[in-house]
Chain A
Amino acid sequence: MTRTTRSKYGFTLETSGKSVLDDDVVDALYEAGCDDAGIGRFLGVECLDFAREAASYCEAVRSAIEDVQAVPGVGVTRVVNENTPADDAFTAAVNAALSSPAQCPDVSGAREQIELRRIWRIASKMPSGSVSG
């Protein structure tokens, strides 16, 4: 039997649309699975600060974006990597997909490419300029 090692990954998702500080949205985010995130606002930018357990950084980011997107009216605009520099390339690719969903960007690594495609599919279904549920 193959065991998958799971680790905890730290990153921040910046959001737009409905305020994540609203009580209804706080509850909806928690119910959607974001009970491993801190919700806040810094320098006018609202964000969710995650400590998410997953098999990889790219899986953690993808699942977090899916959970936030499950809340109607809330969109993810950017990912900020607080993990290791090794994850910077994937983070940059995700941000490119979120800001310009016309074409899926490339990233090295089969697993990373799969997760990026899933994120890009979410982004490309949304109205241009934002990724919202």
Chain B
Amino acid sequence: MARDTHPKKEVRRAIKELRAAGWAIDVAGGGHTHRWGTAICPHQHPDGSGEATRCVRVIYGTPRNQYDEADRLRRALRKCQQMRTRFEKE
């Protein structure tokens, strides 16, 4: 399996959804034991202190449960979307 393809099918599905929403997926290089990659959202969210930050989410290569990991990635996506919606309303 190519290094830039996550080994777990359910996680691959969730990563596909993140990519479709514009998230960048940075696949880790060799030498990292457990991090497969990092997902970074495309938005700059104001954090209330004058700074703007992007959502970041580490993706494990071997999560304890691939379904839970996929759910957590989707939750990160929803959280980002909720923050975005709240910011646009203000």
Contact = CB atoms under 8 A, between A and B. Distances in A.
A49 interface: yes
Contact of A42 (B33, B38, B51, B55): B55
A36 interface: yes
Nearest to A35: B64
Interface residues of A, number: 20
A74 to B, nearest CB: 14
State the main secondary structure of chain A at its contact with B: mixed
Interface in A86-106: none
**By DSSP majority rule, is chain B's interface helix, strand, loop, or mixed?**
mixed
Contacts of B4: none
Interface magnitude class on chain B:
20 to 34
Nearest to B69: A38
Interface in A25-42: 26-27, 30-31, 35-42
Nearest to A82: B75
26 contacts: A21-B38, A21-B58, A23-B35, A26-B32, A26-B34, A26-B35, A27-B33, A30-B33, A30-B60, A35-B60, A35-B62, A36-B63, A38-B57, A38-B58, A38-B73, A38-B75, A39-B57, A39-B58, A40-B55, A42-B45, A42-B55, A42-B76, A42-B80, A42-B83, A43-B48, A43-B83
